Amino acid sequence: MTTRLRARELTLSYGERVVSTKLSLDVPDGAFTAIVGPNACGKSTLLRAFVRLLRPAAGTVSLDDQQIAAYGSKALARSVGFLPQDPLAPDDIKVRQLVARGRFPHQSLLSMWSQEDEEAVTEAMETAGVSELADRPVQELSGGQRQRAWVAMVLAQRTPYLLLDEPTSFLDITHQYRLLTLLARLRDEGRTVVAVLHDINQACRFADHLVAMKEGRIIAEGAAADIVDAALLKEVFDLPCVVVPDPVTETPMVVPTHFDDP
Amino acid sequence: MSALVLRAGRRSFRVERRTLWLSAILLGTILALGFVGLCYGGATWASPGEVLAALTGAADSVVIVEWRLPRVVAAMVFGCALGAAGAIFQTLTRNPLGSPDVIGLDAGAYTGALFAFTVLAGTSGQLAVSSVLGGLLVAALIYLLSLSNGLSGLRLVVIGIAVNAMLQALNSWIVLRADLEVAMAAGAWNAGSLNGVDWADLVLPLPILAGLLATLLVWFRPIQQSTLGDAVAATTGVGLDRLRLMMVLIGVGCTATVTAVAGPIAFIALAAPQIGRRLARTPGVALLPAALTGAVLLLTADLLAQMLLSPESLPVGVVTTAIGGCYLIWLLTQEVRRR
């Protein structure tokens, strides 16, 4: 498995509060990586370091053996796309306009709207299934539709890397599975997908590479079938459970049992 | 598609059709108001024919070319600058109240100008430099005081309003301490006025403002992109730190340059971006409509200022404050209700 996007020995902190130390992760190319862990375990923080929203206090993130700190703003944005957890849409923006904003890193003062921009936006809206919503204001959409509009915006960026912070939160179960299926399809088309996910069963089902974090450290990583068992769940989530094969995909499925202390 | 796209080879240009139309209409309004401004002054009307003759050089008219024209040009350009500065700061603070006149940048620039006036010789160069420095110092002060909350939010606005009040007091104190002659000039100036603006006053400010507004056009697209929130803006390729610095410098530069000549003219910066945005119906910032609306507002207010108590000419700031005050009250109630 090749990797081009790497984190080495990261120390991540918000001011005085240190979230992670000596954190390293190789993101496998062309695969779907899911990062799981309990709340506040530093998984979103790690993702933010990968897209340069958080500057590591120590250590480096590199893409193609070049530190991302050395990339220009637009150059990095042409390689790595990111969808934050609760993105903010400006008032009155329509879906097509929002998606078009994903073209920003490909544009300049002299090239405000090329033929390629047009094609990328149309394609992104088709892929994310929001073509019919193109002229609707984003504010009027349902949660699932809105999230797909944002995904379309990141797709229009046409980056080989796609990083998403809890893309399924606030969605109902159907939309969660639709979105994850879409991400898996993007992976099949050759993109590298990294998502922070809440649901361990969804992560096991869709991810090629699972990263389990706790208290800022990576406890285990690898294919779900190789690493997910009751012991790992106990360690990472402190959850008593049994792990059985998913009846549909045969991937590990976590079924909680009872807590010892009620 | 509601946008007009022009392509030539690798180059392409794109603008929303509605913005284009709106800008044309606003521009027409500005020219019409400007023409009326040339016809009227000192409680007397000149006929359109006389004005045209004076403009084309067919007839000599000191009143129209040397008195009224600089005043009208100042209202146009200053209005644009104030409207643009308002749009910049409201975008930066993500708050319709976060405009330079409300958060004390006008007052700060005026403090700087007063300093140049009372302590230094008060040349127009000194006025320009010290008012820009005054504005920047206030911007830095507000930023430091609201640092825990970043640049956005109501907290910055509230701190700005407090700073504004303190600066007003400081400005009054400086005026009280000054020589009578200086104090009288400064007092009239304090309300914000275009009375007696002549070409000599505009030699420095006009190119400065033109430069600032041109720079703003170059930065328009990243400013627009920044309305998607910090995370998305940064990960789609906006260098936010540099952008914010540019925005503060341009916004303060516009506000302070206007203040150095005309004194603090309140509420144009507050109201123009909101009106412009509603007219343009574009998401995010409508920079051009905000600037043009600013010019329409200032021209209208200046005409009213000359007509209301004719033949006395009011400071234009009195009119904008009276109209804008009502708007501010409405905006504050909206803002409180939203929380």
Average pLDDT over residues B164-183: 87
Question: Closest residue of A to B13, CA-based?
Answer: A112
By CB atoms closer than 10 A (0-12, 13-18, 19+), residue A190 is exposed
Q: For A151-172, how does the pLDDT look when each residue is reduced to its tens digit (9 = 90+)? A: 999 999 999 999 999 999 888 9
Q: Do A73 and B238 touch (CB under 8 A)?
A: yes
Residue B27 lies in a domain: no
Q: What is the CATH classification number for the domain harbouring B123?
A: 1.10.3470.10
Please report which confidence band the pLDDT of residue A262 belongs to, taking 50, 70 and 90 as the band edges: low
Residue B322 lies in a domain: yes
Please report which confidence band the pLDDT of residue B1 belongs to, taking 50, 70 and 90 as the band edges: very low
Please report which confidence band the pLDDT of residue B250 belongs to, taking 50, 70 and 90 as the band edges: very high
Q: Do B221 and A104 touch (CB under 8 A)?
A: yes
Report whether pLDDT(A31) > 90: yes
Chain-wide mean pLDDT for chain A? 94
Q: Do B221 and A107 touch (CB under 8 A)?
A: yes
At residue B172, the pLDDT reads: 87
Residue B31 lies in a domain: no
At residue B327, the pLDDT reads: 83
At residue B144, the pLDDT reads: 86
Question: Closest residue of A to B227, CA-based?
Answer: A90
The residue of B147, B232, B242, B274 whose CB has the most chain A CBs within 10 angstroms, and thus the best one to mutate to test that interface, is B232
Residues in chain A within 8 Å Cβ distance of B232: 82-84, 87-88, 101, 153
Which residue range forms the structural domain that includes residue B131? 65-338
Please report which confidence band the pLDDT of residue B299 belongs to, taking 50, 70 and 90 as the band edges: very high
Q: How many domains is chain B partitioned into structurally?
A: 1
Average pLDDT over residues A217-232: 96
A42 Cβ under 8 Å from any chain B Cβ: no
Residues in chain B within 8 Å Cβ distance of A90: 227-228, 283-284
Residues in chain A within 8 Å Cβ distance of B225: 101, 104
Is the C-alpha dihedral spanning A165, A169, A175, A176 positive or negative?
Answer: positive
Residues in chain A within 8 Å Cβ distance of B14: 112-113
Q: Do A73 and B234 touch (CB under 8 A)?
A: yes
**Minimal C-alpha gap between B62 and chain A (Å):** 43
> Can you tell me the distance from the alpha carbon of A151 to that of A139, in angstroms, rounded to the nearest whole number?
15
A104 Cβ under 8 Å from any chain B Cβ: yes
Please report which confidence band the pLDDT of residue A138 belongs to, taking 50, 70 and 90 as the band edges: very high
Tokens for B203? Answer: 């030699």
Average pLDDT over residues A139-148: 92
At residue A187, the pLDDT reads: 96
In the block, tokens 């996007």 appear at: A5
A76 Cβ under 8 Å from any chain B Cβ: yes
Residues in chain A within 8 Å Cβ distance of B236: 77, 101-102, 104-105, 157
Residues in chain A within 8 Å Cβ distance of B13: 112-113
Report whether pLDDT(B140) > 80: yes
A119 Cβ under 8 Å from any chain B Cβ: no
Q: For A175-220, how does the pLDDT look when each residue is reduced to its tens digit (9 = 90+)? A: 999 999 999 999 999 999 999 999 999 999 999 999 999 999 999 9
Q: For B42-81, how does the pLDDT look when each residue is reduced to its tens digit (9 = 90+)? A: 788 989 999 999 988 888 888 888 899 999 999 999 999 9
C-alpha B126: how far from chain center: 20
Between A246 and B312, the more confident residue is A246
CATH number of A3-79+159-256: 3.40.50.300
Residues in chain B within 8 Å Cβ distance of A70: none
Residues in chain A within 8 Å Cβ distance of B234: 51-53, 73
For A73, the closest of B239, B282, B283 (CB atoms) is B239
Rounded to the nearest 5°, which phi and psi values hold at A100? -60, -30
Evaluate the omega torsion of the peptide bond into residue A28 and state whether it is cis, within 30 degrees of 0: no
Q: For B77-134, how does the pLDDT look when each residue is reduced to its tens digit (9 = 90+)? A: 999 999 999 999 999 888 888 899 899 999 999 999 888 888 887 777 888 889 899 9
At residue B148, the pLDDT reads: 67
Q: Do A105 and B236 touch (CB under 8 A)?
A: yes
Residue B224 lies in a domain: yes
- Interface residue ranges in chain B relative to chain A, Cβ cutoff 8 Å: 3, 5, 7, 10-14, 218, 221, 225, 227-232, 234-239, 281-284
At residue B152, the pLDDT reads: 59
Question: Closest residue of B to A154, CA-based?
Answer: B236
Q: Where do runs of H (alpha helix) occur along B121-229?
A: 124-145, 154-177, 180-190, 199-202, 205-218, 220-226
Please report which confidence band the pLDDT of residue B150 belongs to, taking 50, 70 and 90 as the band edges: low
Between B151 and B138, the more confident residue is B138
> Can you tell me the distance from the alpha carbon of A214 to that of B231, in angstroms, rounded to the nearest whole number?
24
Q: For B186-242, how does the pLDDT look when each residue is reduced to its tens digit (9 = 90+)? A: 776 777 889 888 999 899 899 999 999 999 999 999 999 999 999 999 999 999 989
In the block, tokens 């000191």 appear at: B62
Chain-wide mean pLDDT for chain B? 88
Tokens for B308? Answer: 């209301």
Residues in chain B within 8 Å Cβ distance of A61: none
Residue B294 lies in a domain: yes
Q: Do A105 and B11 touch (CB under 8 A)?
A: no
Between B10 and A192, the more confident residue is A192
Beta bridge partners of A193: A32, A162
C-alpha A151: how far from chain center: 11
Count interface pairs A-B at CB distance under 8 A. Answer: 88
The answer to whether residues B109 and B134 touch, using CB atoms and an 8 Å cutoff, is yes
Residues in chain A within 8 Å Cβ distance of B3: 113
Q: What percent of chain B has pLDDT over 90?
A: 47
> Can you tell me the distance from the alpha carbon of B243 to that of B98, in angstroms, rounded to the nearest whole number?
17
Q: What percent of chain A has pLDDT over 90?
A: 89
* Annotated domain spans of chain A: 3-79+159-256, 89-158
For A112, the closest of B14, B230, B235 (CB atoms) is B14
Residues in chain B within 8 Å Cβ distance of A89: 228, 283
A139 Cβ under 8 Å from any chain B Cβ: no
The residue of B91, B235, B241 whose CB has the most chain A CBs within 10 angstroms, and thus the best one to mutate to test that interface, is B235
Tokens for B84? Answer: 């643009």
Report whether pLDDT(A44) > 90: yes
SS3 A19: strand
Q: Do A53 and B231 touch (CB under 8 A)?
A: yes
Tell me if ipTM is over 0.90. Answer: yes
